[in-house]
A and B are shown apart, each in its own frame.
Chain A
Amino acid sequence: MITFLVFLPFLLGFVVIGVYGERKIAGFIQNRLGPMEVGPAGLFQTIADLLKMLQKEDVRPKAVDKALFLIAPIVVFASIFAGYAALPLTTEVEGFGLSVGVFFLLAIVSIDVLGVLLAGWGSNNKYSLYGAMRSAAQVVSYEIPLGLSVLAVVMYYQTMDLQLISHQQGVLSEAPSYLFGIKSLEVRGVGGFLSWSVFTMPFMWIIFIIFFISSLAESNRVPFDLPESESELIGGYFTEYSGFRWGLFMLAEYAMMLLVSFLGAILFFGGWNTPLPNMGSLALADWTTGPIWGVVWLFGKATLFIFLQIIIRWTYPRLRVDQLMALSWKYLTPAAILLLFVVGIWKLWVI
């Protein structure tokens, strides 16, 4: 229920603001102004674009496989949005509360490849099909380092429930936790950023980098946006789509960005936990932990990761296909397996 009441409105609002933010940041990085004509500082540009998109004609080319063509955008968006069901929102409100939380999230999100393939095939267009094939190959390859990095965190916290993972990274945790794993630096009850997983276990930084790179690839973002590279494939798998159906693909891309940002924030940076530690009588962590604060921190952290993704998009060029595959299979996957091993040893002997 909270998925529909909280995440759906937030997602829709986020897309409007996110597109505007992306344009402004792009303008800033490339030393130009970005949108500035519509409304104050171009604030209404995205809304104008949205209105234009919604009243656009829904073009269906004659040669498409109609059923597959029509259902594909729905499959893509629905499968990604289903992933939100597993996210814990705050200290009191968890997701669907099953013990398989993060596993479910990864599984259901992997269905979106299917929608992409259907879109590419149904469009009956070479560019679309090539885009879909590239996307499927890329997503399937990068699911492995992504899954392994998530597995490392799951192994560290011994649970797949995202609420319990968040719980163990904060001031509310019962289990003993140490800063950088050093026994003399006990941080239980101190909370704040000191008890996040990246600070209690230094190798988490490397795991987070692997997670972040593969999550960029999963959401088809630059530098991994080969499936939709406009200079070679026109628009990739959604070349033939227009109007609202195209909008659904766009929405799904932003939903995926937001979902992996939430997931990264929960797994590595404490989820709904506050970044402010308790310092003696100045109990900042106790004051800033609670249902309302949880939402603030979680959404704040996710927004920071989105910002990072946007900066990366406008900074790096696109990878070549062989480089893309080499990065996943030759570097990220072995590194992730090695780190999984390190986490296992850490869990057995260091802590």
Chain B
Amino acid sequence: MEIAISNILFAFFSAMVVLPIIYMLITSNIIRAAFALVISLLGLAAIYVLLNAELMAVVQILIYAGGIIVLLLFGIMLTRRISEEGVTTEHRNLLLSGVIACLLMGALTWFILESSLQWTGDPVAIDQVERIGISFMTDYLLGFELIAFILLVALVGASYLAKRSGNI
């Protein structure tokens, strides 16, 4: 019975991921498209929760839904003139992009089915935050430090650009 409920939830959240994306492809209103993307990202976070990856879900909400989308909306609203009728886009290169998308999906499906990825047991039993933190500072230290360094470079670059174009 429990499996059935979680399956229904999974189906619901999968629909929540896929349907807004389809709407996003069809609509020409950018703001609405961005909002559809948020719904889709939240659905993805919910799927992470169903798979017991709580930390991943929260990071998903914080960074994508809370951070990047707000930045995106902010960017759209700042670049366009405020009194304009609405921000719209048009559809171009339908065939080519469709073919590329199908190829990408086929390739991903093939890789996932062929790869030796396996279910690694019940992740509820471990303290995910602690485990992830420890592996960041031990096994993946180089990557972690590199990302931190790249982010620092981006920050310094951004503040330099802002200073040159603005009136200090």
A126 and B82 contacting across the interface, CB-CB below 8 Å: yes
Q: Report how many A-B pairs have Cβ atoms within 8 Å.
A: 73
B83 within 8 A of A: yes
Instruction: Find B62's partner among A106, A117, A140 (CB 8 Å cutoff).
Output: A106
Complex Cα distance, B82 from A160, in Å, reads 41
Instruction: Find B61's partner among A107, A118, A133, A160 (CB 8 Å cutoff).
Output: A107
What are the interface flags for B55-81 relative to A under an 8 Å C-beta threshold, 1 for contact and 0 otherwise?
Answer: 100110110011101100110011000
Residues on A with C-beta less than 8 A from B77 are 117, 121, 129, 132-133
Give min CB distance, B146 to chain A, whole Å: 21
A100 and B55 contacting across the interface, CB-CB below 8 Å: yes
Complex Cα distance, B87 from A129, in Å, reads 14
What are the interface flags for A92-113 relative to B under an 8 Å C-beta threshold, 1 for contact and 0 otherwise?
Answer: 0000001110011011101101
Residues on B with C-beta less than 8 A from A100 are 54-55, 58, 128-129
Instruction: Find A117's partner among B65, B73, B83 (CB 8 Å cutoff).
Output: B73
Please report the total number of A residues contacting B with Cβ < 8 Å. Answer: 26
A residues 126-167 touching B (CB-CB < 8 Å): 126, 129, 132-133, 136-137, 140, 160
Q: Check A68/B31 contact, CB under 8 A, given A100-B129, A108-B61, A133-B74.
A: yes
A186 within 8 A of B: no
Give min CB distance, B38 to chain A, whole Å: 6
What are the interface flags for A39-73 relative to B under an 8 Å C-beta threshold, 1 for contact and 0 otherwise?
Answer: 00000000000000000000000000101100000
Q: Check A114/B55 contact, CB under 8 A, given A107-B62, A121-B77, A129-B82.
A: no
User: What 3 A-B pairs have minimum CB-CB distances, sorted nearest first?
Assistant: A110-B66, A107-B62, A107-B61
Known contacts A118-B35, A132-B77, A133-B74; 10 additional CB pairs below 8 A are A65-B86, A100-B128, A103-B55, A106-B62, A108-B61, A110-B66, A114-B65, A117-B70, A121-B77, A136-B73
